[in-house]
Amino acid sequence: MVFILLVNSARAQPTGIEGRVYDAKGSALPFTSVFIKKAEKVALTDTLGRYRIMGMTPGQYKVGISRIGYKLQERSIELLAGQVLVLDFVMEEKVTELGAVEITAKTVSQELRETGYAVDVVEIKERKNLTSDINQVLKSTPSIHIRESGGLGSGFRLSLNGLSGNQVRYFIDGVPMENYGSALTLNNYPVNLIENIEIYKGVVPVSLGADALGGAINITTGYRRKPFLDVAYSFGSFNTHQASINGQHVNEKKGHFVKLSSFFNHSDNNYRMEDVPVFDLELGNRLGTIDTRRFHNEYTSGMIHLEAGVLDKKYADHWSFGLTTARNRKNYQHPDNTINRAFGQFHTKNETLLASTTYKKRLGNLDLKGYVVAGRVVESVVDSSSRKYNWAGDYIVRQANDPKGELFERKSLMELTDRVIRSNVGLDYEISNNHALGLHFTQNYLERNGEDQVNEFNRSFESPNSIHKNLLGLAYTFKTGDGKLEATAFSKQYWFYGEIITQDFQDNEVTTQPRFNSTGYGAALTWRIAAERFQLKSSFEQAFRIPESYEILGDGIYIQPNPSLRPETSYNANFGMRYTKHFQKIHLVSEANYFYRFSKDFILFNPLGPFGTYQNLDNVRTTGIESSLQVNYNDFVLFNANFTWQNLTDQSEFDEGLPNTNYESRIPNVPYLFGNARLGINPWTGPTGDRLAIYWNTRYVHEFFFTWENLGDAEGKSTIPQQLIHDLQMEYAFAKGKYNVSLSVNNITNAMAYDNFNIQKPGRAAYIKCRYFLN
Amino acid sequence: MKRKYQIHHKLTIYLFALGLGGCLLSACGDDDPDEPGTTTSTASSGFVMSLKTTGGDETEFIISQDDIMSGEISAVGTGIEQTGWRFFYPVGETLFSSGFSVDNQMAGYGDDGAGRITLKGEFIFENALEMFGKSDDEQTLLAMEIPRSGFANRRLHFVDVNTVFVRKIIGTRIFESTTDSLVAWPTALQVRDDKLFIPFHVLDAGGFFTTPQPDTAYIAIYSYPEMGTEPEKIIKDARTGNIGVNGFTTGLIEADNGDLYSFSCGAEMAGFNPTSTKPSGILRIPHGETDFDPSYFFNVEAATSGGKLIWFDYVGGNKAIARILVDDSGGIWSAFGRDVFNQQLVIIDLVDQTITEVANVPLHAKRYSSPVLVEDGKVYVSIETATEAHVYQVDIDNATAVQGARILGKTIKGFYRLQ
Q: Of B81, B153, B157, which has the smallest distance from its Cβ to A718's Cβ?
A: B81
Q: Of B24, B59, B148, which has the smallest distance from its Cβ to A708's Cβ?
A: B59
Nearest CA in chain A to B127: A409
Report the C-alpha gap between A104 and A98 in whole angstroms: 10
**Nearest alpha-carbon partner for A543 in A216, A217, A211, A218:** A211
Report the C-alpha gap between B359 and B399 in whole angstroms: 6
CA distance A180 to chain B (A): 28
H-only helix segments in B268-346: 300-303
Positive or negative, the CA dihedral B202, B204, B206, B209 is negative
User: What separation in angstroms does the CA of A54 have from each of A13, A63, A160, A310?
Assistant: 9, 13, 42, 28
Report the C-alpha gap between A407 and A552 in whole angstroms: 24
Question: Phi/psi at A556 (nearest 5 deg)?
Answer: 85, -20
pLDDT beyond 90 at B103: no
Domain span holding position A9: 2-91
CA distance B397 to chain A (A): 32
Report the C-alpha gap between A561 and A512 in whole angstroms: 8
Report the C-alpha gap between A403 and B18 in whole angstroms: 31
Instruction: Judge: B75–A712 Cβ closer than 8 Å, yes or no.
Output: yes
Asked whether B61 and A661 are in contact (CB, 8 A), the reply is no
Final residue in a domain of this structure, among A91, A113, A131: A91
Phi-psi region of B232 (alpha: psi -120 to 50; beta: other; left: phi over 0): alpha
Asked if A247 and A378 sit in the same domain, the reply is: yes
Instruction: Judge: A503–B208 Cβ closer than 8 Å, yes or no.
Output: yes
A192-223 core/surface letters (b: 16 or more CB in 10 A; e: else): bbbbbbbbbbbbbbbbbbbbbbbbbbbbbbbb
pLDDT beyond 90 at A502: no
Positive or negative, the CA dihedral A288, A291, A292, A294 is positive
Asked if A312 and A418 sit in the same domain, the reply is: yes
For residue B12, the chain A residues in CB contact (below 8 A) are 278, 287-288, 290
A555-576 core/surface letters (b: 16 or more CB in 10 A; e: else): ebbbbbbbeebbbbbbbbbbbb
Give the pLDDT mean for A605-633: 83
CA distance A626 to chain B (A): 26
Nearest CA in chain B to A618: B56
pLDDT beyond 60 at B11: no
pLDDT confidence of A273, banded at 50, 70, 90? Answer: very high
Q: Of A292, A716, A760, which has the smallest distance from its Cβ to B33's Cβ?
A: A716
Instruction: Judge: A340–B124 Cβ closer than 8 Å, yes or no.
Output: yes
Specify burial of residue A1 (Cβ count, 10 A radius: 0-12, 13-18, 19+): exposed
Asked if A637 and A548 sit in the same domain, the reply is: yes
Q: Are strands A175-176 and A168-172 parallel, antiparallel or unpaired?
A: antiparallel
Nearest CA in chain A to B85: A607
Instruction: Judge: A661–B7 Cβ closer than 8 Å, yes or no.
Output: no
pLDDT beyond 80 at B36: no
Q: Of A506, A661, A663, which has the smallest distance from its Cβ to B409's Cβ?
A: A661
Q: For B254-295, how does the pLDDT look when each residue is reduced to its tens digit (9 = 90+)? A: 999 999 999 999 999 999 999 999 999 999 999 999 999 999
Report the C-alpha gap between B238 and B214 in whole angstroms: 10
Instruction: Judge: A661–B105 Cβ closer than 8 Å, yes or no.
Output: no
Instruction: Judge: A713–B28 Cβ closer than 8 Å, yes or no.
Output: no
For residue A338, the chain B residues in CB contact (below 8 A) are 102-104
pLDDT beyond 90 at A564: no
Give the pLDDT mean for A565-584: 87
**Nearest alpha-carbon partner for A346 in A295, A296, A277, A391:** A296
pLDDT confidence of A627, banded at 50, 70, 90? Answer: very high
H-only helix segments in B275-347: 300-303
More confident residue, A279 or A133: A279
Nearest CA in chain B to A714: B77
User: What separation in angstroms does the CA of A321 have from each of A47, A177, A180?
Assistant: 20, 17, 18
**Nearest alpha-carbon partner for B350 in B316, B375, B378:** B316
Instruction: Judge: A668–B56 Cβ closer than 8 Å, yes or no.
Output: yes
pLDDT beyond 80 at A635: no
Query: Side chain identity at A52, as an amino acid letter?
Result: R
Positive or negative, the CA dihedral A173, A177, A180, A185 is positive
* β-pair partners for B343: B325, B364
CA distance A414 to chain B (A): 16
Q: For A27-75, how does the pLDDT look when each residue is reduced to its tens digit (9 = 90+)? A: 778 777 787 776 667 777 876 788 888 778 888 888 888 776 677 777 8
Asked whether B150 and A408 are in contact (CB, 8 A), the reply is no
Q: For B178-199, how does the pLDDT look when each residue is reduced to its tens digit (9 = 90+)? A: 999 999 999 999 999 999 999 9
Q: What is the number of other CB atoms lying within 10 angstroms of the CB of residue A154?
A: 22
Rg of the Cα atoms in chain B: 21
Instruction: Judge: A287–B85 Cβ closer than 8 Å, yes or no.
Output: no
Give percent of chain A with pLDDT exceeding 90.
42
CA distance A658 to chain B (A): 5
Instruction: Judge: B40–A611 Cβ closer than 8 Å, yes or no.
Output: no
Give the pLDDT mean for A247-255: 90
B355-367 core/surface letters (b: 16 or more CB in 10 A; e: else): beebeebbebbbb
pLDDT confidence of A510, banded at 50, 70, 90? Answer: confident
Instruction: Judge: B25–A712 Cβ closer than 8 Å, yes or no.
Output: no
pLDDT confidence of A566, banded at 50, 70, 90? Answer: confident
Instruction: Judge: B148–A286 Cβ closer than 8 Å, yes or no.
Output: no
Report the C-alpha gap between B204 and B206 in whole angstroms: 6
The confidence score (pLDDT) of residue A11 equals 39
CA distance B188 to chain A (A): 17
**Nearest alpha-carbon partner for A97 in A681, A572, A535, A554:** A681
Instruction: Judge: A338–B12 Cβ closer than 8 Å, yes or no.
Output: no
Instruction: Look at residue B180 and give its three-state secondary structure.
Output: coil
Instruction: Judge: B4–A289 Cβ closer than 8 Å, yes or no.
Output: yes
Nearest CA in chain B to A752: B1
DSSP result, B205-249: TTSS---S-TTSEEEEEEESSS--SS-SEEEEETTS--BS-TT-S
Asked if A360 and A492 sit in the same domain, the reply is: yes
Asked if A41 and A119 sit in the same domain, the reply is: no
Report the C-alpha gap between A85 and A558 in whole angstroms: 68
Q: Count up the domains in chain A and report the number.
A: 2
The confidence score (pLDDT) of residue A369 equals 92
CA distance B34 to chain A (A): 9
For residue B22, the chain A residues in CB contact (below 8 A) are none
* β-pair partners for A430: A436
Instruction: Look at residue A125 and give its three-state secondary structure.
Output: helix
Report the C-alpha gap between A249 and A263 in whole angstroms: 18
Asked if A267 and A387 sit in the same domain, the reply is: yes
Nearest CA in chain A to B331: A608
The confidence score (pLDDT) of residue A751 equals 93
- Where do the DSSP E strands lie in B5-124? 39-43, 47-52, 60-65, 72-73, 80-81, 86-91, 94-99, 105-111, 116-124
Give the pLDDT mean for A469-481: 91
Asked whether B12 and B48 are in contact (CB, 8 A), the reply is no
Asked if A337 and A371 sit in the same domain, the reply is: yes
Q: Of A608, A713, A718, which has the smallest distance from its Cβ to B336's Cβ?
A: A608
Final residue in a domain of this structure, among A91, A112, A135: A91
The confidence score (pLDDT) of residue A97 equals 37
Asked whether A332 and A341 are in contact (CB, 8 A), the reply is no
Final residue in a domain of this structure, among A30, A56, A91: A91
CA distance B400 to chain A (A): 25
- Where do the DSSP E strands lie in A94-143? 119-123
The confidence score (pLDDT) of residue A694 equals 94
Q: Of B6, B76, B389, which has the smallest distance from its Cβ to A275's Cβ?
A: B6
- Where do the DSSP E strands lie in A252-295? 256-267, 272-279, 286-293
pLDDT confidence of B25, banded at 50, 70, 90? Answer: very low
Q: Of B81, B336, B388, which has the smallest distance from its Cβ to A712's Cβ?
A: B81
pLDDT beyond 60 at B3: no
Instruction: Judge: B333–A609 Cβ closer than 8 Å, yes or no.
Output: yes
Instruction: Judge: B387–A608 Cβ closer than 8 Å, yes or no.
Output: no
Nearest CA in chain A to B56: A618
Enter the pTM of the model: 0.85
User: What separation in angstroms does the CA of A773 have from each of A245, A407, A548, A739, A740?
Assistant: 10, 45, 41, 6, 8
More confident residue, A537 or A510: A537
Give the pLDDT mean for B149-175: 96
A27-44 core/surface letters (b: 16 or more CB in 10 A; e: else): bbbbbbbbbbeebebbbe
Asked if A71 and A113 sit in the same domain, the reply is: no
Asked whether B49 and B64 are in contact (CB, 8 A), the reply is yes
Asked if A386 and A434 sit in the same domain, the reply is: yes
What CATH number does residue A113 fall under? 2.40.170.20
- What does pLDDT average to over chain A? 85
| Residues in CB range of A257: below 8 A, 6 or more apart | A248, A249, A250, A251, A308, A309, A310, A311, A320
Nearest CA in chain B to A336: B102
Report the C-alpha gap between A632 and A731 in whole angstroms: 19
For residue A401, the chain B residues in CB contact (below 8 A) are 152-153
Q: Of B9, B123, B271, which has the smallest distance from its Cβ to A286's Cβ?
A: B123
Report the C-alpha gap between B316 and B394 in whole angstroms: 13
Q: Of A282, A402, A668, which has the smallest distance from its Cβ to B153's Cβ?
A: A402
More confident residue, A166 or A385: A385
pLDDT beyond 60 at A271: yes
Give the pLDDT mean for A582-597: 89
Give the pLDDT mean for A177-196: 84
Instruction: Judge: A290–B101 Cβ closer than 8 Å, yes or no.
Output: no
Instruction: Judge: A708–B78 Cβ closer than 8 Å, yes or no.
Output: no
Report the C-alpha gap between A500 and A201 in whole angstroms: 33
For residue A337, the chain B residues in CB contact (below 8 A) are 102-103
| Residues in CB range of A480: below 8 A, 6 or more apart | A434, A486
Asked whether A263 and A234 are in contact (CB, 8 A), the reply is no
Q: What is the number of other CB atoms lying within 10 angstroms of the CB of residue B232?
A: 13
A-B interface: how many C-beta pairs under 8 angstroms? 237
Asked if A38 and A132 sit in the same domain, the reply is: no
Q: Of B55, B122, B388, which has the smallest distance from its Cβ to A652's Cβ?
A: B55
Q: Are strands A16-23 and A89-91 parallel, antiparallel or unpaired?
A: parallel
For residue B96, the chain A residues in CB contact (below 8 A) are none
pLDDT beyond 60 at A526: yes
Q: What is the number of other CB atoms lying within 10 angstroms of the CB of residue A73?
A: 15
User: What separation in angstroms does the CA of B71 have from each of A233, B53, B232?
Assistant: 67, 17, 51
More confident residue, A530 or A575: A575
For residue A283, the chain B residues in CB contact (below 8 A) are 123, 157, 165-169
The confidence score (pLDDT) of residue A557 equals 61
pLDDT beyond 60 at A1: no
Instruction: Look at residue A192 and give its three-state secondary structure.
Output: helix
Report the C-alpha gap between A581 and A533 in whole angstroms: 6
Asked whether B157 and B211 are in contact (CB, 8 A), the reply is no
For residue B209, the chain A residues in CB contact (below 8 A) are 505, 609-611
Considering A21-25, A665-669, B126-130, B142-146, the range whose residues carry the highest mean pLDDT is B142-146
Asked if A194 and A231 sit in the same domain, the reply is: yes
What CATH number does residue A32 fall under? 2.60.40.1120
Instruction: Look at residue B194 and give its three-state secondary structure.
Output: coil
The confidence score (pLDDT) of residue A163 equals 76
Q: For B45-84, how does the pLDDT look when each residue is reduced to its tens digit (9 = 90+)? A: 999 999 999 987 788 999 999 999 999 999 999 999 998 8
Nearest CA in chain B to A458: B206
Instruction: Judge: B207–A457 Cβ closer than 8 Å, yes or no.
Output: yes
Q: For B216-251, how does the pLDDT look when each residue is reduced to its tens digit (9 = 90+)? A: 999 999 999 999 999 999 999 999 999 999 989 999
Asked if A232 and A87 sit in the same domain, the reply is: no
pLDDT confidence of A421, banded at 50, 70, 90? Answer: very high
The confidence score (pLDDT) of residue A581 equals 86
Q: Of B28, B103, B387, which has the smallest distance from its Cβ to A658's Cβ?
A: B387
